[in-house]
Amino acid sequence: MKYFTTAILAFGLLLTLAMGCGSSSEMADATACACEKGKAGEAVWCTAHRVGYFEKQQVACEGCLAEKTGGPACATCAAKKSG
C-alpha cells in the first residue's frame, strides 16, 4: 500500500509537469512588469516594482491607486496624514 500511494503521487506530479501546470513562464507572466501600460495611460499597479500609475502619473501607494480608480479611501495614508 505504501508503494502504491507513492506511485500515485509520482504519477500525478509527472502528469502535472507534462501538462505545463505551474511552469515558470506562467508565473513570470503573472508578475510581469506593468509599468509600460501605466506610462501609456492605463491605471495599473506594477507588482514587480511596487508602484502604480494613474493618468500617466506614478502613484507610490496601492491603496491610493485603488481610491483614485473608484475604490475605498486609502486608510493607511489617511492615518499618516492625521497623525
- DSSP letters of the chain? -HHHHHHHHHHHHHHHHHHTTT-HHHHHHHT---HHHHHTT--EEETTTTEEEETTEEES-HHHHHHHTT----HHHHHHHH-
What's this model's pTM, rounded to 2 decimal places? 0.57
Cα 8 from chain centroid?
A: 33
Contact 62, 53 (CB under 8 A): no
Q: Along the 83 residues of the chain, how does pLDDT read in single tens digits?
A: 666 555 455 555 444 444 544 444 544 555 579 999 999 999 999 999 999 999 999 999 999 999 999 999 888 887 777 76
- CB contact set of 2 (below 8 Å; sequence gap of 6+): none
